Amino acid sequence: MKKQVGVKTFLLFLFILSLSLQGFSKEKIITCNWVASPLTIDGSNEEWGEDALSFEKKVDVNFAFRNDAENLYVLFIFNDPKYLSSINATGMTLWFNTEGKKKKNYGLTFMKKQVSTDMFISILEKQKGPLSEEEKNNIQANPRYFLHNIKVVGKESESTSQQAESEEANVAIFRSMSQEKMVIYELAVPLRRITEQAHGIGTEPGKTVKVGFEWGGLTDEMKKAIAEGREIPGTDAMRRGESADSWAARSSGFSRTSGSRQGPKQYSFWVDVQLAKSQ
């Protein structure tokens, strides 16, 4: 009888232990450093100074996190161009889960898109009103421009297709650039989220959040082309560097095997991030 009681007690202990290990314990926890003033988001790693970079071996990237009372700042560095895959077409998505689960309920897709000079002028005029001839001439001095678009994705974004506007809502921003043999992404994401469609994690300083990085793979247009036996859209342009920085375009993730086309790979991984407390 005593033996049976001992076994039951041991099993109960294991059950309680398993419950305590759920959630954030499955991933290595990355600790944020607190910043006293907002970072300048310009695609450079200069402001990050001596911050210890974490390393994800399977995709050869370094990354780091910081936060203040308002934003989570993310530095993400590609060390090998082959792991960029089709990021120019798919963008990079960051998934955020405050319950410690790998659920894609809410995320932000960050996409750098090249547009023509005329398209850039058209976009500016829609946002700010008609431009003067002098302003247009200044813009036309450059042959191309890059837009940094951010879109809310996931289950919580399905109820409406347009971001809710609010004077209180902050917005995420990002920039990316190539530097020597690296491609750097630098982002700022609001900690608060006012509405389902607003940019924001839905947390506060001192809390832990699970963050998933995802990029590459096939777009709907690429999948359709493969199904119809056509050339994957953008392959040649990406190889020539017409739609992105030339260094980044040299390895767009496209390959051919056994006479058939194999699309670009999709990459992803998750980490737990411990936000710094207010100071």
Give mean pLDDT, residues 66-78.
97
**Residue 232 in this model has a pLDDT that exceeds 80:** no
Give mean pLDDT, residues 89-118.
92
Please tell me the predicted confidence (pLDDT) of residue 248.
41
119-140 tens-digit pLDDT:
888 878 787 788 888 888 888 8
User: Confidence band (pLDDT; 50, 70, 90) for 9?
Assistant: low
User: Confidence band (pLDDT; 50, 70, 90) for 262?
Assistant: low
DSSP the chain: -HHHHHHHHHHHHHHHHHHHT-GGGGSPEEEPEE-SSPPP-SS-SGGGTTPPPEEEGGGTEEEEEEE-SSEEEEEEEESSGGGGTTHHHH-EEEEEETTS----SSEEEEEEEEEEHHHHHHHHHHHH-PPPHHHHHHHTTSSEEEEEEEEEESGGGTT-SSPPP-TT----EEEEEEETTEEEEEEEEES--SSTTSS--S--TT-EEEEEEEEES--HHHHHHHHTTPPPTTHHHHHHTSSS-HHHHTT-S-EEETTEEEPPPEEEEEEEEEPPPP-
Give mean pLDDT, residues 44-63.
90
User: Confidence band (pLDDT; 50, 70, 90) for 263?
Assistant: confident
**Residue 190 in this model has a pLDDT that exceeds 90:** yes
Please tell me the predicted confidence (pLDDT) of residue 245.
44
**Residue 240 in this model has a pLDDT that exceeds 50:** no
Give mean pLDDT, residues 8-36.
61
Higher-confidence position of 247 and 23: 23
pTM to 2 decimals? 0.76
